[in-house]
A = this chain, B = another copy of it.
Amino acid sequence: MNIEKMQRSSVKGLKPYDPGLLKNYRYKLDANENGYDVPAAAKKEILRRIAKIDFNRYPDPGCSALKELIAGKNGVKPSNIVMGNGSDEIIHYLIQAFTNTGDRVVIPDPTFEVYRILALANGAKPVMVPLDEKFDLDERAVLKASKGAKLIFIAYPNNPTGNCFSEDRIRRIIKGASCLVVLDEAYFQFSGRSFLPELRENKNLIILRTFSKAYSMAALRLGYLIADEKIATVINKVRLPYNINALSQAGAGVMMKLSTDRITGIILREKEMMYRLITETYPVVRSNANFLFIRVKDGKKAKKIFEKNGISIRIFTGGRLDNYIRLSIGTPQENRAALKILKRGV
> Could you list which residues of chain A lie within 8 angstroms of chain B, going by C-beta atoms?
1, 3-4, 6-9, 11, 14-17, 19, 21, 28, 31, 33-38, 43, 47, 50-51, 53-59, 61, 85-86, 88-89, 92, 96-101, 121-123, 150, 178-180, 203-204, 212, 216-221, 228, 230-231, 233-234, 236-248, 251
Contact = CB atoms under 8 A, between A and B. Distances in A.
Nearest to A84: B240
B85 A240 contact: yes
Nearest to A121: B238
A44 to B, nearest CB: 9
Given A7-B98, A7-B234, A217 B56 contact: yes
A220 B241 contact: no
Given A237-B16, A241-B19, A221 B59 contact: yes
B8 A100 contact: yes
A42 to B, nearest CB: 9
A61 B19 contact: yes
Q: Which of the listed residues A8, A43, A85, A212 has the most CB atoms from chain B within 10 Å of its own CB?
A: A8
The 7 A-B residue pairs whose C-beta atoms are closest, nearest first, are A16-B236, A219-B246, A56-B216, A3-B230, A221-B245, A121-B238, A14-B237
A243 to B, nearest CB: 6
A92 B120 CA distance: 16
A11 B231 contact: no
A242 B251 CA distance: 18
6 contacts: A7-B97, A7-B98, A19-B61, A88-B241, A219-B246, A245-B247
Nearest to A178: B1
A246 B234 contact: no
A101 B100 contact: yes
Contact of A180 (B6, B51, B241, B251): B6
A333 to B, nearest CB: 15
Given A123-B100, A204-B1, A150 B6 contact: yes
A100 to B, nearest CB: 5
A260 B268 CA distance: 49
Nearest to A213: B56
A233 B100 contact: no
B85 A85 contact: yes
Contacts of A242: 86, 88, 218, 221
Contact of A101 (B53, B101, B238, B243): B101
Q: Which of the listed residues A50, A234, A240 has the most CB atoms from chain B within 10 Å of its own CB?
A: A240
Given A8-B100, A100-B9, A123-B100, A38 B19 contact: no
Contact of A55 (B19, B28, B38, B51): B38
Contacts of A51: 43, 47
Nearest to A230: B3
A251 B86 CA distance: 19
A237 to B, nearest CB: 4
